Amino acid sequence: NCTIYLISDNSPNEEEVFNRFYNHKTLNCVVLKSLERKGPGNARNIGIKNSYGEFIFFLDFDDFLSL
């Protein structure tokens, strides 16, 4: 069981990445939005504040995770 948090910081590349994950039928995805574009540190802090799991992985749009 895992939840994937997609945190929007209004970057230009995010829509394609969000659609790839959010439309996947077997993934549990939550979309969180930042009102301002403050960079990856702010997006990660939003993810940390909203997560409740035992493990946290930080991935940017150009990263790849194979499970």
Q: Please, which residues have CB within 8 angstroms of residue 50's CB and are 6 or more apart in sequence? A: 5, 30, 32
- At residue 21, what are phi and psi to the nearest 5 degrees? -85, -50
Q: E strands within the chain?
A: 3-8, 28-33
The yes-or-no verdict on residue 67 having pLDDT over 70 is: no
Q: Distance from CA of residue 32 to its chain's centroid?
A: 8
Supply the pTM of this predicted model: 0.68
List pLDDT tens digits, range 13-66: 777 767 777 677 677 777 787 778 888 888 889 889 988 888 888 887 778 877
List pLDDT tens digits, range 3-16: 888 888 777 777 77
